[in-house]
Chains A and B, each alone.
Chain A
Amino acid sequence: MPTDPKTRPLGDLERLVMEQLWAAERALTVREVHARLSGTRELAYTTVMTVLDRLAKKRLTERERDGKAWRYQAAAPREGMAADLMRDALDRAGDRREALVRFVDQVSDEEAALLREALSRLETPDR
């Protein structure tokens, strides 16, 4: 599976930046996000700016002008986004269904019994 070596570290940063925004009670400037992240790792100010900009383009953050600077906040609380994600992951309807390919769908109790029966035959060594 190809993963782009250039975007991977940035992708990781996106998550860390979102965590800062979720944890904050108010909208943060780039400088504030940079300060909060610098405690744990060496990071360029411009990198944080780029990441916040990318997050805004993905509509994961919202920003507003505050004097000369932008203030960023998460577009929704973490729980809200997680709920959106789960709803989408479990959605089996519509013509965009093949967007994600699930390992297995959950089955009814009767069918689970059939599955267990089939598995026990498979586990019996003399077959």
Chain B
Amino acid sequence: MITPVLLAALALVLSGPAPALLGRSGWPYRVPRAAVTLWQALALAAVLAALGAGTALSYSAAGQPQAPRFDPSAPGDLAAAGVLALTALVGIRLLWAAGRVAVGTRARRKRHRDLVDVLATPDGLVPGLRVLAEQTPLAYCLPALRGSRVVVSVGALERLDDGELRAVLAHEQAHLRARHDLVLEAFTMLHTAFPRWVRSEVALEQARTLVELLADDEARRRGGPRPLARALLALAGSPAPEAGLAAATSATVLRIQRLADPEPRYPWLSAATYASAAALLVLPTVTVAAPILKAVAEAVS
């Protein structure tokens, strides 16, 4: 009975207090790449622990191996079946949410790209660049396995000098190359899989900021911090023509402030973060596997 309790406790800690704590901390921003890995490990471990807890509980509630037959009149067997069904339901819900997000995201992206291709003019500066004849300053990318696009509006071009434009393009190309959208998509899937009253924005929010920092680092390596910081201000600080768009995003302030410092190098913090990520994945796996291994060892001896 100890395994399901351990796993359930682990699932609770990993889906509640752990993300909340991590979300409030500042150090993940110092090691964005390792922090993204840690968040991924945390999410995966929470799912593994929750599913593992359900399976282990139903296993230990059911009759002993001597009586392997399912007996509908035994309360233990009924409870086991119920727990197993509930666990399966959680798993199915996760898969369903993942599929819905994946299909929806691709449909929206495809429609958007079709519109971009007939409305915006190609520009040879970087592959896949399209210039949109709109005054609203705007720069974004449309990720894809093949035929990704970087879209920049005329309004944005007017606000940027050559170096700043290059910084923006380097930033967007870093997103496309590293497929940061897939990282964010995975967190969105997890986020939408849970009902509104249990889920929290914290993992998705911090993941969004972290991938921006990763792309910023890449752009900084290409052209130095100043053009990038100026481009950020030029595109973020211009008066917003759309109502409701001016919501505070402190991530932008963090990004510029971070560029003011030399490129961060924290090898120890980074190594410790990667080690925690690995430990997080090993923990639920070993907890699930330990009783099985023990049983095998007993059977052999």
Contact = CB atoms under 8 A, between A and B. Distances in A.
Contacts of B1: none
Contacts of B192: 95
Contacts of B104: 95-96
B71 to A, nearest CB: 43
Given A103-B172, A105-B236, A111-B248, A89 B151 contact: yes
Contacts of B233: 112, 115-116, 119
Given A1-B148, A96-B105, A118 B256 contact: yes
B100 interface: yes
B237 A86 contact: no
B49 interface: no
Interface string A115-127: 1101101110001
Nearest to A113: B237
Interface stretch (A2-10, A41-49, A64-72): A2-10
B105 A81 contact: no
Given A60-B118, A86-B134, A111 B249 contact: yes
A81 B252 CA distance: 30
B89 to A, nearest CB: 20
B117 A11 contact: yes
Which of B173, B225, B236, B238 has most chain A Cβ within 10 Å? B236
B171 A103 contact: yes
A40 B176 CA distance: 35
B112 A101 contact: no
Contact of A107 (B118, B173, B237): B237
B114 A58 contact: yes
Contacts, number: 179
A102 B140 contact: yes
A78 B133 CA distance: 11
- Main DSSP-derived SS at the A contact region: helix
Contacts of B126: 1
A60 B171 CA distance: 31
- Main DSSP-derived SS at the B contact region: helix
Nearest to A118: B256
B235 A103 contact: yes
Contacts of A111: 236, 248-250, 252-253
Interface in A10-37: 11-12, 14-15, 18
Contacts of B134: 82, 86
Interface of B: 100-101, 104-109, 111-112, 114-119, 121-122, 126-128, 132-134, 136-143, 145-148, 151, 168, 171-173, 175-177, 180-181, 184-185, 188, 191-192, 211, 225-226, 229-233, 235-238, 240, 242, 245-250, 252-253, 255-257, 259-260
Q: Which 9 A-B pairs give the minimum distances between C-beta atoms?
A: A112-B237, A103-B139, A106-B240, A118-B256, A99-B108, A122-B260, A18-B118, A98-B184, A99-B109
Interface of A: 1-4, 7, 11-12, 14-15, 18, 55, 58, 60, 78, 81-82, 84-86, 88-90, 95-112, 114-116, 118-119, 121-123, 127
16 contacts: A2-B145, A2-B146, A15-B121, A81-B115, A90-B136, A90-B245, A95-B192, A98-B184, A98-B185, A99-B109, A100-B151, A102-B138, A103-B140, A105-B249, A106-B235, A119-B233
Given A2-B146, A86-B138, A100-B151, 4 more contacts: A101-B172, A102-B140, A111-B249, A118-B229
